[in-house]
Chains A and B, each alone.
Chain A
């Protein structure tokens, strides 16, 4: 059995209690997040996922229920909540808007310095974090505002990674990036996760991105946890997801339909590479290309 790092017990958050706008954003969520896992978080707008992740690092205090980090209620001593935020690092949407320092490196070093580390140690961490996110050394002494969109995004993520959190939460880290920028950033996050072996939570609207990175998926729907299961298991239930305004990756949809047509293919296939491997032998035999020499490939 793997160890639990974060756990929620009947976690609930209500906005505007006692006003006409009272609304329950998160209702009775009890989940366990394992040490070292890559957890995807999906749910349509208003499903409660943003409120949930903000409770996980103590930015919002639950109206009822608990968040346990390593078994300890994070609100047991409210004065120590800052320590929780160092251990559960959060990268918000469009984090590049939060860059503020004169140079890239100064910006990245801000977090570890705030934790009370010595200048040398903070700097060492900042450099390591910058390298992790693929930020080239020649950019370190530049103003963050001279960087391109993708580079700024990396600098902002490096600032959180530099605090060396046990849990790293990324809210839509690839929003607004072009396809290549998205692929590179996702690859770097996956590599970071492998190397550091910490827990990563990735919130995304892109089922394709989630499909190729996450081990397990947390599905939020109408303020509640609708599913928490291995990615393949979640994506094998396309009808259920569609009811929640979500969908499976395109490739998964295609293999499911092909399966119904009699192709021997796993209905929870998540990547084009994987689909190709399974389909090729069958389809080559069933639909050989007509031109001469077609089986040369």
Chain B
């Protein structure tokens, strides 16, 4: 059984009394344990709503979201669902609560009632996993954006959730900070088998996922391996999305009559390919 199952989910927001706007129109999606899924789509397509449905912060209007078999829309399951799915948001300044890094990371497990010795162990391990152990006694507000996001991720790791949903975690970061966060996410997925759902506007991040889901107007538009999805350059552009520059270049070269063995998704793959054929 898939770790997260989204079954025919509709969701509406209340605009004002009497007026509602449906943003998800019957979503069906399954995410298996250990997968790394990138969720793409333009602003307002319903991605962030999906993220909040995954850990029970929002409840579907109709349909079901099952997390590890538990109905995430039922209040009695709320705690168990949040033990399994952690959420990291865009702005690092909005999610750090304590005055010292390690206390911040301890906040989650404390609230879950984890015994103190165990918390100590988890906090140390979580900070090491995101490579922030040296900063454990620092003040979070003095860290860089990338470091803050890694502390926020450590806070989720310390809760030992099996799935982490990240809603544009790199939008406010510089290139180095983005790379730090991406490396952390990839490592957690590969080495610890944590299921990752990454919502992003950066196509070069999405191509690093194992699977790409593209949403449009509250529906799933495309779902497949990055290779399959990003090959459809024209279709993505029609839906206001983008492809990495390496992909666009090779796609357009091929369309204009250059024989290329593949359409690469990254600068490295692109350069590697040209090294072989030239």
Residues on A lying within 8 angstroms of B by beta carbon are 44-46, 93, 148-150, 175-182, 205, 207-208, 245-247, 249-251, 253-254, 257-258, 261-263, 272, 275-276, 279-280, 283-284, 286-290, 294-297
B34 to chain A, nearest CB (A): 28
For residue A178, which residues in chain B have a CB less than 8 angstroms away from its CB? 41-43, 201, 240-241
Residue in B closest to A257 when the chains form the complex, CB atoms: B271
| B244, A250: Cβ atoms closer than 8 Å | yes
Q: Can you list 30 A-B contacts (CB < 8 A)?
A: A45-B174, A149-B43, A149-B44, A176-B90, A176-B201, A179-B201, A180-B242, A182-B201, A250-B245, A251-B249, A254-B245, A254-B267, A254-B270, A254-B271, A257-B274, A258-B274, A261-B278, A272-B249, A276-B249, A279-B249, A283-B253, A284-B256, A284-B258, A286-B278, A287-B259, A287-B278, A289-B254, A289-B259, A296-B257, A297-B256
Residue in B closest to A206 when the chains form the complex, CB atoms: B175
Q: State the CA gap A176–B275 with chains docked (Å).
A: 35
Residue interface bits B168-190, CB-to-A below 8 A is 1, else 0: 10011111111000000000000
Decide if B145 is an interface residue (CB 8 Å cutoff): yes
Q: State the CA gap A294–B257 with chains docked (Å).
A: 6
Number of interface residues of B (CB under 8 A): 44
Report how many A-B pairs have Cβ atoms within 8 Å: 124
Residues on B lying within 8 angstroms of A by beta carbon are 41-44, 90, 144-146, 168, 171-178, 201, 203-204, 240-242, 244-246, 248-249, 252-260, 267, 270-271, 274-275, 277-278
For the complex of A and B, 10 pairs with smallest distance between CB atoms: A180-B240, A179-B242, A289-B259, A178-B42, A250-B245, A245-B176, A257-B271, A251-B245, A297-B257, A45-B144
Q: State the CA gap A294–B256 with chains docked (Å).
A: 9
Q: State the CA gap A279–B174 with chains docked (Å).
A: 31
| B174, A205: Cβ atoms closer than 8 Å | yes
